[in-house]
Amino acid sequence: MPTSAMWSRTAAQFLMPLTRLEREAITDSVLKIQSIQASLEQVDEAIIPGRQEIESCLETADKNLRVVLREAPPAKKRPTKS
């Protein structure tokens, strides 16, 4: 079983709550990965050694980050002191 599939299956059991800022940072990372993937599509595969491995790594990272965004509970707001 691929590591990413195993991680995805059990992710919900171990995910820590995410703050709004953490969720935004992960979302930003997902968007950056998508941008890199789109950029690579414009370059001839022969030019980049190990391109398939790079694309596989990006796909795994994208999937894992999306699992975190989907499954991680929101962090509880701390009471403000008056």
Per-residue pLDDT tens for 2-57?
555 555 555 556 778 999 999 999 999 999 999 999 999 999 999 999 999 999 99
Residue 47: CA atoms inside 13 Å, Cβ hemisphere, count?
Answer: 5
pLDDT of 78 > 70? The answer is no
- Whole-model pTM above 0.85? no
Q: List pLDDT tens digits, range 63-77.
A: 999 999 999 999 887
- 58 Cβ contact partners less than 8 Å away, ≥ 6 residues apart: 33, 36, 37, 40
Going from N- to C-terminal start, the domains of the chain cover: 18-71
